[in-house]
Amino acid sequence: MIIDKIRKTIERYNLLDYKDSVVVGLSGGPDSVCLLHILNELKREYDLKIYAAHLNHKIRGIEAQKDAIYCAKLCDDMNIHCFIRAIDVPKYCKENGYSIEEGARILRYNMFFEIKQKVGANKIAVAHNLNDQIETILMRVIRGTGLDGLKGIQHKRDDVIIRPLLDIKRDEIEKYCSENNLNPRIDQSNLEDVYTRNKIRLRLIPYIEENFNPNLNESISRMVTLLKDDSDFLDKESEKVFNDICKKEDSQTIKINVNTFNGVHKAIKNRIIRKCINFVIGNIKGIEQKHIEDVLELIQNQKTDLKINLPKGLIVYKKDEEIIFTDKEIKHEQINYSYKVPKSGFIKIKELNMIVETKMLDKHEVELNKEDKYTKYFDFDKISGQLEIRNRKDGDKIKLLGLGGSKKLKDLFIDLKIPKDERGKIPILCDEKGIIWLVGYRMSEDYKIDKTTKKVLRVSIENV
């Protein structure tokens, strides 16, 4: 009966195709032994090539060596080629800052993929079962998770990793092993309620089944199926929005317009952020919900020219109206330019592709109501010496209208929320005394037109 159930799972989720070549993760425990044996039973039906891969974690001493010997003999009996490797997992975890569980998982999958490439396989089969699914979901609920977390373990990932036993309960697996005299190895550490997963398995689940729901496995399995459908729908919708609003600058940089992003539903926003992160670093492992919330907080911040650093070298910038996801440091390049400005005529700022026009006027010719942010009028007689238009310099100050004193341009830029990389592009009109006009933003008190003004200098700037 268990083979029929597994066959249905394989067909429902398209886990195997005819003539597949499969690397099976084999620990020697009941789950992986059952998986290997059943795939071997299905070998002719699917015309499979099967390989086994066993990792000695160097944690359990002589017992781990016995596991390896058992796996080698089991594979020999079934005429399956078995790859066995020993790695000092505790040493690796200490050197790289991983927990034993995480480090062991990384090393196992590294080995699986290495063997897959070596033998030319196209699938990796691992032995997660329905009980593992329940434990994983409860663990995620305890830690806090969203819809994707509640989907639990997936039957297939990237069309490579498959989990044919995911709908099978542990007691069914143990019964199968007993009926077929497989005598799998038992890891005694799984019976100790030291680790969180073991506590859930040995204490929490039995308590829930005894006091609340004796059919916990079936209930959570139904929930997973329903949530998977909802999550798949949201994924498809977010993929459409992602393609519509995200601009790929290069293979490691992607941008989103802040205003466009703010018009998206929050359920989609989280997914778009995850897709942007995945685009830049290739996966979202190590990215937690708190990191997604950090990005959302950055986007909502009223300030501009901000950045946050996330795991794996990911940097998220907020610049003007854009959010930029990248793994590169964005440096501000200073544009240097300086031009003498005639008191009547034209000059071009080639670095900015702008034209500056000046014209002398009598006061009665001035139409102040037609003044805009790029056209200003100044008292000509208050201007000293040669006019100059240039980029900003350290220590620049301007005497603002109505302020009664001078203000550093650096502080003014901050007040105006002008991004750092835009500041050097803003032209500054000066004379020999100081700054007359921060083009497009503020003019100086010292050059304003008043009742004593006779001659006026009109300055206009426009893009070419």
| pLDDT tens per residue, range 271-299 | 999 999 999 988 887 788 889 999 999 99
Q: How far apart are CA 460 and CA 119, in angstroms?
A: 72
- The Cβ of residue 52 has, within 10 Å, a number of other Cβ atoms equal to 26
Contact 237, 301 (CB under 8 A): no
The answer on pLDDT for 464 being more than 70 is yes
Nearest to 161 by CA among 207, 226, 116: 116
Domain 234-326, CATH among 2.60.40.10, 3.30.465.60, 1.10.10.60, 1.20.140.70: 3.30.465.60
Q: Is 416 helix (H, G, I), strand (E, B) or coil?
A: coil
Supply the pLDDT for residue 228. Answer: 87
| pLDDT tens per residue, range 165-212 | 999 999 999 999 999 999 998 876 655 555 678 888 889 999 999 999
Provide, rounded to the nearest whole percent, the portion of the chain with pLDDT above 70: 96
- The residue with greater pLDDT, 191 or 316, is 316
- With both helix axes pointing from N to C terminus, report the angle between 30-41 and 62-77 in degrees, rounded to the nearest 10: 10
- The residue with greater pLDDT, 11 or 284, is 11
Q: How far apart are CA 387 and CA 376, in angstroms?
A: 15
User: CA of 410: how far to CAs of 395, 402, 440, in Å?
Assistant: 8, 19, 16
Domain 338-463 has CATH 3.30.300.10: no
Supply the pLDDT for residue 250. Answer: 86
Supply the pLDDT for residue 406. Answer: 85
Supply the pLDDT for residue 333. Answer: 65
The answer on pLDDT for 259 being more than 60 is yes
| pLDDT tens per residue, range 323-337 | 999 988 877 667 789
Q: Is 196 helix (H, G, I), strand (E, B) or coil?
A: helix
Residue 307: pLDDT band (50, 70, 90) is confident
Burial class, 137, CB count within 10 angstroms (exposed 0-12 / middle 13-18 / buried 19+): buried
Supply the pLDDT for residue 253. Answer: 92
Supply the pLDDT for residue 194. Answer: 54
Highest mean pLDDT among 32-36, 326-330, 458-462: 32-36
Residue 319: pLDDT band (50, 70, 90) is confident
Phi, psi dihedrals of residue 255, rounded to the nearest 5°? -125, 150
Contact 274, 284 (CB under 8 A): yes
- 30 annotated as ligand-binding: yes
Q: How far apart are CA 80 and CA 77, in angstroms?
A: 8
The answer on pLDDT for 4 being more than 60 is yes
- 345 annotated as ligand-binding: no
Mean pLDDT of the 228-247 span: 91
| pLDDT tens per residue, range 353-385 | 899 999 998 888 887 766 788 999 999 999 999
Mean pLDDT of the 98-114 span: 91
Residue with tokens 């800052």: 97
- 29 annotated as ligand-binding: yes
Mean pLDDT of the 307-330 span: 88
- With both helix axes pointing from N to C terminus, report the angle between 216-245 and 130-143 in degrees, rounded to the nearest 10: 60
Amino acid at the residue 274: R
Structural domain boundaries of the chain?
A: 2-214, 234-326, 338-463
Supply the pLDDT for residue 195. Answer: 67
Residue 229: pLDDT band (50, 70, 90) is confident
Supply the pLDDT for residue 287. Answer: 85
The answer on pLDDT for 401 being more than 80 is no
CATH-assigned architecture of domain 2-214: 3-Layer(aba) Sandwich (3.40)
User: CA of 195: how far to CAs of 11, 95, 102, 185, in Å?
Assistant: 35, 21, 13, 20
Mean pLDDT of the 10-19 span: 94
Q: How far apart are CA 360 and CA 337, in angstroms?
A: 25
- With both helix axes pointing from N to C terminus, report the angle between 100-119 and 89-96 in degrees, rounded to the nearest 10: 110
| Residue spans of beta strands (DSSP E) within 139-228 | 156-157, 161-162
Contact 398, 412 (CB under 8 A): yes
List the strands of the sheet with 442-443, edge to edge: 338-341, 387-390, 428-430, 435-438, 442-443
The half-sphere exposure of 155 on its side-chain side, counting CA atoms within 13 A, is 19
Supply the pLDDT for residue 173. Answer: 95
User: CA of 56: how far to CAs of 68, 173, 190, 324, 437, in Å?
Assistant: 7, 23, 16, 43, 73
Contact 354, 464 (CB under 8 A): yes
Nearest to 38 by CA among 145, 122, 137, 129: 129
Residue with tokens 């003007």: 320
Residue 254: pLDDT band (50, 70, 90) is very high
The answer on pLDDT for 350 being more than 60 is yes
Supply the pLDDT for residue 189. Answer: 61
- 28 annotated as ligand-binding: yes
Same fold? 2-214, 338-463: no
Q: For the chain, how big is the Rg over CA atoms in Å?
A: 34
Nearest to 71 by CA among 182, 160, 197: 182
- 31 annotated as ligand-binding: yes
- The Cβ of residue 328 has, within 10 Å, a number of other Cβ atoms equal to 12
Q: Is 151 helix (H, G, I), strand (E, B) or coil?
A: coil
- The Cβ of residue 12 has, within 10 Å, a number of other Cβ atoms equal to 10
Mean pLDDT of the 37-46 span: 95
